[in-house]
Structure 1
């Protein structure tokens, strides 16, 4: 029997098997066992060649175990990520961002400068054009907003940007954010981080949530 030829085939196969899956590992094991079974007793394999094959066999086995371990770790990390997202779903949150208008009143929480003696709610289309300006009570933490335009007509359904301008006399002190409440319908982890889908259909970054609400 030509032991040299068998050795060459086995070495080539085991080299590729070291980077393969469990099936390649089993194939390598069968080939090594077959080689030993049919080895010519009068011309045994050189001990150094045999040592190389055993070392390759060990490498294949270790690679297989490593792949299995990495797969288990990946599965646990995926499960951990889902566990981190699940508490968001069904939670009412305060969001600093656009407001979805659907004909119903919205409770807004404007950020007004503490030294302001007047404030104005500014409503804009997504493109930036101003839709309406409405006076705010600087002493109130919440504002019950009925979405209407400058003429008093109801705003069409859609998403609007809102902000609060703070004034002292005629001097503009600054523009603050306006928060509103919404319920989280879905949470997902994407390239931008955690994205929350609200019950009004909007998608906001988790970073825009200022506080959970009971």
Structure 2
């Protein structure tokens, strides 16, 4: 799903071309400076202030090119990432994330086992990393699984809505070897935001990097509504 953006330092970028020219000019400047120092008149030495000013100017140009790199990267992120992410609003996505928000007394995750496991443990952790619930599922075949949590901790107490919880999967096969697993969340995208140059989408109240989206589809309610709409004209009654 991620859109590849041309980096600011690519051969075809303006900053890359400017940096190449700056490097050539700087090398030429150093060669001329060295030659002048070697051949200067000991009785009439050159004014060092002039060379210092030129070095400062060269450094200033280099800093400007670095600034241009950052600006080009920002424009690239804003122009491609956030525009693509905005198109996800209102759509149902599946994204790689172990975080889900407890709402209406429940939270739901999907997880995938790369191969069948014989000993699988599902743990729910709160925002402090404390395990609040542990479940031993019986269906441990390879493939996708759904885990629905009723929001109750290990003592049976109902936890308050609004908290963000993390799902942790520990799976082993018959030989005791670890079974790789991946946790997903599924839901409607309700918002898009840029934070520190990263494009984040909001799914079920949790922000996720948009590049972690693995599938996109129209909401099921929309599809059902469209399928339920009968556009066939009713037959006229005989007189």
TM-score by length of 2: 0.48
Check conservation: 1:103, 1:155, Cα contact below 8 A: no
- Work out the CA distance in 1 between the residues paired with 2:85 and 2:171: 37
The equivalences for 1:1-214 within 5 A come to 83-95=83-95, 96-136=97-137, 137-139=139-141, 141-157=145-161, 158-168=163-173, 171=176, 173-174=178-179, 176-198=181-203, 200-214=204-218
Check conservation: 2:120, 2:169, Cα contact below 8 A: yes
Change (3 A) 1:99 1:207: same
Q: For 2:153, what is the secondary structure of its paired residue?
A: coil
Q: For 2:87, what is the secondary structure of its paired residue?
A: helix
Residue 189 of structure 1 deviates from its aligned partner by 3.6
Residue 134 of structure 1 deviates from its aligned partner by 0.6
Change (3 A) 1:176 1:79: closer
Residue 119 of structure 1 deviates from its aligned partner by 1.2
- Work out the CA distance in 2 between the residues paired with 1:126 and 1:209: 23
Structure 1, unmatched stretches of 5+, are 1-74
Check conservation: 1:112, 1:119, Cα contact below 8 A: no
Q: For 2:165, what is the secondary structure of its paired residue?
A: strand
Q: Larger strand proportion, structure 1 or 2?
A: 1
Change (3 A) 1:175 1:148: farther
Q: For 2:86, what is the secondary structure of its paired residue?
A: helix
Per-residue Cα deviation, 1:94-141 (whole angstroms, up to 9, x for no partner): 231311002343342123241411311111111211111111221362
Check conservation: 1:116, 1:166, Cα contact below 8 A: yes
Q: For 2:113, what is the secondary structure of its paired residue?
A: coil
Change (3 A) 1:113 1:86: closer
RMSD, matched Cα = 3.0
Check conservation: 2:153, 2:159, Cα contact below 8 A: yes
Structure 2, unmatched stretches of 5+, are 1-74, 219-239
- Work out the CA distance in 2 between the residues paired with 1:164 and 1:123: 9
Check conservation: 1:132, 1:149, Cα contact below 8 A: yes
- Work out the CA distance in 1 between the residues paired with 2:175 and 2:82: 51
Aligned residues: 138
Check conservation: 1:163, 1:176, Cα contact below 8 A: no
